[in-house]
Structure 1
Amino acid sequence: MEMTFLLDTNVISEVMKRQPDTAVLAWFHSLQEVVTSAICLEELVFGLRRRSAFKKEAWLRRMLADVGSVLPVTDTAAQWSGEKRELLQARGLTVHQADALIAACAWEHGLILATRNSGDFSGFGIPVLNPFEYGG
C-alpha cells in the first residue's frame, strides 16, 4: 500500500527551488500523490506574492492541479487542533496556530506529515518524516 504524505510548506518550497536538495527531490519524485493543506497553500501563495514570483506561482498552481489535492481545515480538524494546542501550551511548549492546523489535517486524514521542521510537530502524536534526511 502506498503511503500518503501531507507536504508541509517547506518541502514544497524546496522542490520549487532552482537547485533543490537532491535528497528531497529524489524523495518527492518517488511519491505517487502530492497532498497538502489549505494552510500550506496560503503560506506558499503569501510568500510567492510577496516576491512577485509569478512563474513560481504558476508552477505551484500547475503542480497542485496536476498531481495533488489541497485538504481543507474541517470543523473536526479545527477542534482537534485547538485541544492539542492548548494541551501543549499548558506543558510550556510554544505552538503556532498554523502548525497545529497542519498537524490536524494530517491527523484527520491519517497521513504522514513531511516537513523539515520535525520538532515543531513532535508533541502532536502524528507520524512525521523529514525528507531532507531521505536516503533513497
Structure 2
Amino acid sequence: MASPRRQSSHRPPGKDGHVVLVDTHIISELMRRNPDPKVMEWFGRTPSIAVSVVTVDEIVYELSRRAMQPLRQRFDEFLVNIQILDLDYRIARRAGELRGALAAHGIVRHPSDMHIAATAQVHALTLVTRNVREFENCGIPLLNPYGG
C-alpha cells in the first residue's frame, strides 16, 4: 500500500479543486503491494483525496469476506489520512435522480456507483476511477489515472 501522507479529516472537502474523490478500484490499487506505476505517479502529485463511505463499505466487505485481517488493518491506517464523505439527504436524492434519468434512457447503473457519482457532484469533485464507462452521463468530471 502507498504510504499515508495526509492529515485526518472527516469533514467535507472544500470546493477549490484540490480534492478529488477516489473510487473503490483506485483505493484497492493503492493498497496493493506493487501498485500500477501510473496510479502511483498520479497519487504522488495529488494534494488531497476523499472517499465516499460507499467505498469504505465495499472494501471492508471484501476484506472481511476473505478474512484478510492484515490488509484490513493497513486499510484502516490508510483511512485515518484521507477525507471520508458521508451519505446525506442531498447525495441520496441526487443518486436517485441520476439512476432514474439514466434508466429512462435504458442505462442501468448500480446504486453504489450512483451514490459515489452523486457524492462527487454534490461536493463538486472530480471522480478518479478506472471504470470511466460506469460514470459517463452523470455530469461529473472524470479522471482515469491509468491513462485510458
TM-score between the two structures when normalised by the length of structure 2: 0.86
1:80 corresponds to which residue? 94
Residue type of the partner of 1:74? Answer: D
Residue type of the partner of 1:92? Answer: G
SS in 2 for 1:103: helix
CA distance in 1, matches of 2:123, 2:86: 11
1:110 corresponds to which residue? 124
User: 1:60 Cα deviation (Å)?
Assistant: 1.0
User: 1:52 Cα deviation (Å)?
Assistant: 1.4
Given the alignment of the two structures, is residue 30 of structure 1 paired with residue 45 of structure 2, yes or no? yes
CA distance in 1, matches of 2:147, 2:65: 29
Determine which of 78, 103, 122 is the counterpart of 1:89.
103
- Asked if the contact 2:17/2:125 (under 8 Å) is kept, the reply is no
Residue type of the partner of 1:85? Answer: R
CA distance in 1, matches of 2:84, 2:126: 15
> What 5-or-longer segments of structure 1 have no aligned partner?
none
User: 1:69 Cα deviation (Å)?
Assistant: 1.5
The root-mean-square deviation of aligned C-alpha atoms, in Å, is 1.3
Given the alignment of the two structures, is residue 100 of structure 1 paired with residue 98 of structure 2, yes or no? no
2:59 corresponds to which residue? 44
**Segments ≥4 residues shifted beyond 4 Å:** none
SS in 2 for 1:132: coil
